[in-house]
Amino acid sequence: MKDGFIRIAAISPAAEIADAAKNARRIAGLAREAANGGAKLIVFPELSLCGYTAGDLFLQEKLLSGCVDALFYLAERTQNLNAVIAVGAPLAAEDKLYNCAFIITGGRIIAAYPKTHIPSYGEFYETRHFTAFDGRTREVTLRSGEKSMTFPMGYVVCKCLSVPEFTLAAEICEDMWVPEPPSVRLAQAGAHVIVNLSASDEVIGKTDYRRTLVCAQSGRCECVYVYCGAGEGESTTDAVYGGYKLIAESGNILAEGSGLFDGADVIATEADVKGVAAERRRRNTFGTHECEEVYFDLQAEKTPLIHRYIPAMPFVPEEGDARDDRCGKILAMQTAGLVTRMKRAGAKTLVVGISGGLDSALALVVACLAADKAWGSRENVIAVTMPCFGTTKRTKSNAVKLTNALGAALREVNIKKSVLTHFADIGHSESVHDVTYENAQARERTQVLMDIANQTGGLVVGTGDLSELALGWATYNGDHMSMYGVNAGVPKTLVRHLAAYYAQKCGNKKVKEALISICETPISPELLPPKDGEIAQRTEDIVGPYELHDFILYNVVRRGYSPSKVYRLAVHAFVKGEDGTDRNKGFTKEDIFKWTDNFYRRFFAQQFKRSCLPDGPKVGSVTLSPRADWRMPSDACADMWRRELKQAFEESKN
């Protein structure tokens, strides 16, 4: 439960139709097993205490009283479990019969949720037995022998005292399939977790549609949505029940299984309720509703991430087809943004500083694609190579080969003399390889590009990527500046995939060879003299591995996670998973701490550079544009973040 992770289990037990006592014993045992395995929320199907297909037996007093006794038995037998249980049963109240989801914890029923939408079509005839919820929340009292329990029935949000973000509500099966599900109101009332107790039968094609509904509802309601269907034991007289289960979070599937198709009678995962709360805070259109609240408490424990997958590269899909699809769309978005800017500015040329590195290669590809679309020709794309002290034969050769293969115009402007003259003007020694030595080159290159753009009536196309913007790895008013930054929304880990994608899809052998060579070249600004003809200055040796920085960037900016949570997830993804798996990423906990601390230090200190960025297209969920998603004072202090990070690191060593 630490960091907001709650382990959830959805279970489809074998049902005994109309035998509530036997079902209660089975459910109690399964709940105990799940709780002993760390589950804090355990969900069972619709009418799971008696079976969904009991038919007219629902009108038998014996079945109804048996279900009440079973509820009391279940509450008593699970009272010592550090968990919340959601179970289905009929409830007779006010001379009506309701199909309810009961929430049980600490030996008592704390809330009941009557089904709002009662189907009576196709194979369903629930209106024969059940009354639809009328929207009026009221108190209900149940009695079993000398015992009684009183609880609210209706629109209720159950709130955990020890983990305030763990807030819970329920709806039942058909309620999700209608235009206005009750879960919308419950989510707006503060429920971060919605459970759906279901008994949806299986027909061909239904699984795909149901999966779409669950994912969409979890995304629309910005919640964790737990769907648990009835399975084995339900009557198959006219239908088959497959025990389909799915747990989704904010539109993403965390766990899925079906007893009928894959033998998964239990699925479990860790949901991030703090993450859900953070996402809701980002959205000012979510809306609010008033509902009754009830409180429960659980012992707060650390929930190991055994089932939840934490991707090491959150910006890059792991599946090849999905990755290719994303790369194609991003290139199209970059191209469309640049074409619009070209047309509005009346640009006659596009000027790109080409270094032989990844970012400038991608920018040149985008410029050529934009020229194809706007002009039908690439002859007015001007690629400028500007060798200086740190330029190597490999990078210069790659720059030339790529430019020629793409069909752009190539210009070479050697800036050594200009930079040396500048050193003489300001009294700086060529032998002092400090930040002045490096930045003078970057600013001279930008001046050359800007002036060539002025000469030709063109636009300077920026090359810097999202990861560099996050770290401030750019020379202020040097490569920091352009007239349109096509890579501004693309993180470094994705830049490489975009270049590789275009290499494979362009159909030009020479372009492919040049891009592959560029992808294999170490990342460097090449501002220091080479050593033995090889690159001497490797960016990742200075600022840290981009794979790790992009992971941090996503979880800090997109997810809003605390430093301790970012550190925990990074260790899980890059060092050793909490399931005991060695990730084999080549990092230690010390590495994670060092580079995460460096990220926070640079991210805060370099905001002044982001405050005056050139325009550039947003292509994903993270952008650092001061005009769009990220507005931060340049004088903000990182000390609180770094102190928490250090504390988390020290605790992890014990």
Label residues 13-39 b or e (16+ Cβ within 10 Å = b): bebbbbbbeebbbbbbebbbebbeebb
- What is the predicted pLDDT for the residue at 349? 98
**CA geometry: angle 100, 160, 565, nearest 5 deg:** 125
Residues 256 and 331 in one domain: no
Residues 127 and 179 in one domain: yes
Mean pLDDT throughout 85-93? 97
Cα gap 66→68, rounded to integer Å? 5
Determine, yes or no, domain membership for 302. no
Using DSSP bridges, classify how beta strands 266-272 and 292-296 pair: parallel, antiparallel or unpaired: unpaired
Residues 565 and 628 in one domain: yes
212: phi then psi, degrees, rounded to nearest 5: -60, -45
pLDDT digits (tens, 9 = 90+) for 622-649: 999 999 889 999 999 999 999 999 999 9
Cα gap 368→653, rounded to integer Å? 51
Q: If DSSP states are collapsed to H, E and C, what string results for 261-319?
A: HHCCCEEEEEEEHHHHHHHHHHCCCCCCCCCEEEEECCCCCCCCCCCCCCCCCCCCCCC
Strand partners, 152: 139
pLDDT range class, residue 186, cuts 50, 70, 90: very high
**CA geometry: angle 333, 336, 342, nearest 5 deg:** 140
616: phi then psi, degrees, rounded to nearest 5: -175, 150
Strand partners, 6: 271
Does 458 have pLDDT greater than 90? yes
DSSP H or E stretch at residue 384? strand 381-385
- Output 2 or 65, whichever has higher pLDDT: 65
Work out the percent of the chain whose per-residue pLDDT is above 70.
Answer: 99
Listed in sequence order, the residues at least 6 apart from 82 whose beta carbon sits closer than 8 Å to its beta carbon are 35, 40, 298, 299, 301
Number of other residues whose CB lies within 10 A of the CB of residue 288: 7
The SS3 of residue 71 is helix
Least confident of 74-83, 259-268, 328-337: 259-268
Does 485 have pLDDT greater than 90? yes
Structural tokens at position 186: 């419950």
**CA geometry: angle 404, 405, 409, nearest 5 deg:** 30
Mean pLDDT across the chain:
94
The residue type of 488 is A
Number of structural domains (the chain) is 2
Integer angstrom CA distances of residue 163 from 282, 508, 538: 20, 57, 44
Range of the domain at 330: 320-653
Residues 446 and 489 in one domain: yes
- What is the predicted pLDDT for the residue at 537? 64
pLDDT range class, residue 597, cuts 50, 70, 90: very high
- What is the predicted pLDDT for the residue at 171? 98
The SS3 of residue 43 is strand
Determine, yes or no, domain membership for 314. no
The answer to whether the CB of 402 falls within 8 A of the CB of 511 is yes
Determine, yes or no, domain membership for 311. no
Mean pLDDT throughout 189-206? 92
Residues 265 and 367 in one domain: no
CA atoms within 13 A on the CB side of 572: 19
Using CA of residue 467, residue 473, residue 474, residue 480, what is the dihedral sign?
Answer: positive
- What is the predicted pLDDT for the residue at 96? 96
Strand partners, 296: 160
- 225: CATH: 3.60.110.10
pLDDT digits (tens, 9 = 90+) for 207-255: 899 999 999 999 999 999 999 999 988 887 788 888 999 999 999 999 9
pLDDT digits (tens, 9 = 90+) for 555-589: 999 999 999 999 999 999 999 999 888 988 889 99
Residues 207 and 110 in one domain: yes
What secondary structure does DSSP assign to 473-520, as a single string?
-S-TTTTT--SEETTTT--HHHHHHHHHHHHHHS--HHHHHHHHHHHT
Work out the percent of the chain whose per-residue pLDDT is above 90.
Answer: 84
- What is the predicted pLDDT for the residue at 535? 63
- What is the predicted pLDDT for the residue at 290? 87
Determine, yes or no, domain membership for 306. no
Listed in sequence order, the residues at least 6 apart from 423 whose beta carbon sits closer than 8 Å to its beta carbon are 429, 430, 437, 440
Residues 275 and 362 in one domain: no
Residues 437 and 581 in one domain: yes
Strand partners, 458: 349
pLDDT digits (tens, 9 = 90+) for 356-387: 999 999 999 999 999 999 999 999 999 999 99
Q: Nearest-CA neighbor of 96 among 66, 118, 79, 71? A: 118
Residues classed as catalytic: 46, 115, 173
pLDDT range class, residue 200, cuts 50, 70, 90: confident
Determine, yes or no, domain membership for 304. no
Number of other residues whose CB lies within 10 A of the CB of residue 253: 14
What is the Cα 201 distance to its own chain's centre?
31
Integer angstrom CA distances of residue 236 from 23, 121, 242, 359, 567: 18, 18, 10, 60, 50
- 430: CATH: 3.40.50.620
Does 536 have pLDDT greater than 80? no
Q: Which of 296, 331, 354 is the last residue of a domain?
A: 296
Determine, yes or no, domain membership for 342. yes
Cα gap 624→395, rounded to integer Å? 29
Mean pLDDT throughout 34-56? 96
The SS3 of residue 565 is helix
pTM of the entire structure? 0.90
Determine, yes or no, domain membership for 463. yes
Residues 578 and 517 in one domain: yes
The answer to whether the CB of 552 falls within 8 A of the CB of 570 is yes
pLDDT range class, residue 466, cuts 50, 70, 90: very high
Residues 333 and 376 in one domain: yes
pLDDT range class, residue 121, cuts 50, 70, 90: confident
Residues 285 and 342 in one domain: no
Q: Which of 247, 264, 296 is the last residue of a domain?
A: 296
- What is the predicted pLDDT for the residue at 390? 85
Number of other residues whose CB lies within 10 A of the CB of residue 207: 18
Determine, yes or no, domain membership for 221. yes
First to last CA, the chain: 20
pLDDT range class, residue 9, cuts 50, 70, 90: very high
Length of the chain: 654
Mean pLDDT throughout 157-186? 96
As to burial, measured by CB atoms within 10 angstroms (0-12 exposed, 13-18 middle, 19+ buried), residue 503 is buried
Least confident of 286-295, 400-409, 507-516, 523-532: 523-532
Label residues 389-424 b or e (16+ Cβ within 10 Å = b): bbbbebbbebbbbbbebbebbbeebebeebbeebbe
572: phi then psi, degrees, rounded to nearest 5: -60, -40
Cα gap 42→27, rounded to integer Å? 10
The answer to whether the CB of 211 falls within 8 A of the CB of 201 is no
Residues 279 and 402 in one domain: no
